[in-house]
Amino acid sequence: MARRLRALPPETQPYGWAEFQRRGLERARIRCGARRMTGLRRAVELAAGLVLAVAAVALWGRLGVPTDAEVGGEAVLPRVGLVAAERPGRMRPGSPGYPRDPAGPEVQVSPVERWLASQPDDPPLVRVGAGAAVEGLEDRIAQLDDEISAGRALRARPARLFAIQQERAQLVSSLAQVRYAEDLAAAAR
């Protein structure tokens, strides 16, 4: 059987080099066009999704806003939007498990950071705007902590380290303000 199969005559190539190149260019052009259309379609879908999401949030906000009569005439912060999200436990600056710089001297945890660490874990339902702000600030603070650790390990210029530490302190202060505002809003609901 193997002998019979091997005895089959070979096929001639279906076309020459020039035709192969031509077909290759044609396929590349088609793929490029298809990719562009796919990208455009995705952009349109994304835009439509965003519009729908904003409309849904606005509608939900309108439905959720209590009237002045309900709260005795006091102004109440409207619910910006509630998103059910899984928030994995996030390490906060100052919390016991938060990574400290092993190379540098033991840094005193500031009172602000101690207060932040004492805050309860985020509930499953978070406000979209504030939640995003808190996460962004925490991410940036963690990033600066990494830069400080690396700077100390590599013996960076003291002025540079000082500037990063100053920025970190400002961000920690901002984070504390956002969390405090969240606490006030939660208490007012």
Question: Applying CB under 8 A, which residues contact other proteins?
Answer: 1-2, 4-15, 17, 20, 23-24, 27
Q: Which one, 10 or 89, has the nearer CB to other proteins?
A: 10
Query: Residue 52: how many CA atoms within 13 Å on its side-chain side?
Result: 6
Q: Which is nearer to other proteins, 4 or 155 (CB)?
A: 4
In the complex with other proteins, which residue's Cβ is closer, 3 or 157? 3
**Minimal distance in Å, beta carbon 31 to other proteins?**
11
Report d(CA 29, CA 62) in Å as an integer.
49
Least distance (Å) between residue 32 CB and other proteins? 14
Token pair listed for 101: 């710089």
Q: Using the minimum distance from each CB to other proteins, give the nearer residue, 8 or 187.
A: 8
Q: Report how far Cα 44 is from the mean position of its chain's Cα atoms.
A: 22
User: Which CB, 12 or 108, lies closer to other proteins?
Assistant: 12
Shortest CB 16 distance to other proteins, Å: 8
> Which structure tokens are listed for 134?
């808190």
Whole-angstrom CA distances from 132 to 56, 149, 162 are 18, 26, 28
Minimum Å distance from CB 42 to other proteins? 23
Q: Strand pairing partners for 127? A: 82
Please report how close the Cβ of residue 45 comes to other proteins at its closest, in angstroms.
24
- d(CA 123, CA 144) in angstroms, rounded, equals 26
The H helix count followed by the E strand count for the chain is 5, 2
